[in-house]
């Protein structure tokens, strides 16, 4: 039930963000005096609508996006009423058309940034100093954070339940932030050595030396017995090993005050921009991996996902109580959509912006050369390229949706 709730909630959140995208176009167009005749959420048959002023607002049956109709987006539009010609979008100054066409992406960016700022205050953002791979984790200082309990079975991914034993470290009065320096007679210098020493020790009482506030102490800890695979073989044979009942003391997330959250938001946004650019560049390389996932091979977690896949991950996040994953996924997806929509390719907004600026640059150049203004770009001549891009985009979307249905990426690997 929680999974389904999460899927619906994430899909609804994305639908709202897409609706705000179209609202960005509509509101800026109206502000500049352009005529907007329709604003709808969804596609297909109309479910409900009403008219206010010169604009019809409504809801359509297929909740997969939305649209707004601005009169005269290109000089080739043939449905412009003669009375509306002065308000046709293509007649407006270049900067106004640029603002209107980019307003959709700006809406996504604002939604992502505001959500990110709120997350920094109330939920926390990923710690930039937190290790990102197993090698980095093992080299961290053996600073501990007490676990709420010890989950004996493998994998230990579930929350604590009634009957689970308390953390052995907690029972021995160790505290968060203590740094382990030895397990029994084995000295440890980092987190990896501590794990190895604990696993090499039989379950039961063992002296544990630690440093707290600069002073060295020793406690008798009754190590628990749990079922785990070898450290370097997540899929290896599961067997009994000892556990101290602690986690890495480096916090995976950091919360900020309202003022400090602005800096953290800016840093995180910069990282998202770099990662988004890299992800877009890698899309063509990931097509074979998507096809391999559909045909039965293991799904690469670095492959693109569709709204279907993102919604499934959102559902999983809610199911496991990982609301921070839900929120960060929503933020990242909005940022990606905003950037992707500004690519200078038709039929995306960035394509219209690129054409408008090309027209201006060409007119300027011809004027300097003493030649007559060549006028507007003929969109009809670009239709074959536009249709080809639509076909490629549709095929890629179908590929990602299929992969997300038959072989989805999951948060909890089984």
Q: Phi and psi for 402 in degrees, rounded to 5?
A: -60, -45
Omega before 347 within 30 of 0, i.e. cis: yes
Q: What is the pTM of this model?
A: 0.81
Residue 17 and residue 329 in contact, taking contact as beta carbons nearer than 8 Å:
no
Q: Give the rounded distance of the alpha carbon of 115 from its chain centre.
A: 12
Q: Can you give the pLDDT of all 414 residues of the chain as single tens digits? A: 888 999 999 999 999 999 999 999 999 999 999 999 999 998 889 999 999 999 999 999 888 788 999 999 888 877 788 888 899 999 999 999 999 999 999 999 999 999 999 999 999 998 888 887 788 888 989 999 998 888 888 777 677 888 888 899 999 999 999 999 999 999 999 999 999 999 999 999 999 999 999 999 999 999 998 888 887 776 778 889 999 999 888 888 899 999 999 999 999 999 999 989 998 888 888 889 899 889 888 888 888 888 889 999 999 999 888 889 999 999 999 999 999 999 999 889 999 999 999 999 999 999 999 999 888 888 888 889 889 988 998 899 899 999 999 899 888 654
What are the residues whose beta carbons fall under 8 Å from the beta carbon of 276, sequence distance 6 or more? Answer: 335, 336, 339
Predicted pLDDT at 154: 78
CA dihedral 299, 301, 305, 308 (to 10 degrees): 70
Task: For domain 134-250, give the CATH number.
Answer: 2.30.42.10
Q: Of 211, 215, 146, which Cα lies nearest the Cα of 179?
A: 211
What pLDDT is attached to residue 23? Answer: 96
Q: In the annotation, is 136 catalytic?
A: no
Q: Which of 22, 136, 298, 359 is catalytic?
A: 22
> What residue ranges do the domains of the chain occupy?
91-130+255-414, 134-250
CB contact set of 41 (below 8 Å; sequence gap of 6+): 15, 19, 22, 58, 59, 60, 63, 66
């Amino acid at each position: 039930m929680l999974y389904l709730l999460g899927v619906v909630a994430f899909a609804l959140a994305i639908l709202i963000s897409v609706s705000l995208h179209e609202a960005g176009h509509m509101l800026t167009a109206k502000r500049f005096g352009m005529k907007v005749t329709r604003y709808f959420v969804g596609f297909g048959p109309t479910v409900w609508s009403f008219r206010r002023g010169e604009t019809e607002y409504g809801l359509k049956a297929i909740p997969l996006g939305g649209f707004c109709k601005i009169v005269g987006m290109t000089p080739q539009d043939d449905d412009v009423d003669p009375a509306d010609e002065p308000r046709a979008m293509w007649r407006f100054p270049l900067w106004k058309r640029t603002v209107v066409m980019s307003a959709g992406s700006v809406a996504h960016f604002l939604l992502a940034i505001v959500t990110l700022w709120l997350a920094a205050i109330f939920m926390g953002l990923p710690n930039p100093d937190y290790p990102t791979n197993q090698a980095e984790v093992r080299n961290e200082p053996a600073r501990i954070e007490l676990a709420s309990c010890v989950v004996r079975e493998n994998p230990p991914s579930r929350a604590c339940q009634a009957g689970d034993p308390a953390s052995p470290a907690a029972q021995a009065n160790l505290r968060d932030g203590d740094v382990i320096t030895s397990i029994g007679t084995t000295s440890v210098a980092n987190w990896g050595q501590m794990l190895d020493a604990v696993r090499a020790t039989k379950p039961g009482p063992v002296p544990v030396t630690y440093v707290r506030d600069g002073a060295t102490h020793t406690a008798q800890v009754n190590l628990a017995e749990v079922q785990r695979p070898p450290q370097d073989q997540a899929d290896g044979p599961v067997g009994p090993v000892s556990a101290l009942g602690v986690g890495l003391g480096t916090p995976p997330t950091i919360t900020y005050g309202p003022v400090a959250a602005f800096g953290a938001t800016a840093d995180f946004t910069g990282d998202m921009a770099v990662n988004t650019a890299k992800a877009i560049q890698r899309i063509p390389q990931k097509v074979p991996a998507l096809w391999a996932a559909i045909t039965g091979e293991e799904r690469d977690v670095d492959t693109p996902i569709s709204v279907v896949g993102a919604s499934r991950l959102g559902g999983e996040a809610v199911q496991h109580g990982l609301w921070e994953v839900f929120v960060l996924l929503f933020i990242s997806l909005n940022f990606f959509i905003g950037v992707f929509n500004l690519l200078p390719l038709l039929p995306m907004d960035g394509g219209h912006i690129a054409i408008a600026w090309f027209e201006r640059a060409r007119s300027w150049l011809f004027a300097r050369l003493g030649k007559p203004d060549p006028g507007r770009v003929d969109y009809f001549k670009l239709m074959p390229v536009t249709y080809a891009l639509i076909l490629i985009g549709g095929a890629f979307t179908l590929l990602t949706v299929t992969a997300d249905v038959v072989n989805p990426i999951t948060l909890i690997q089984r």
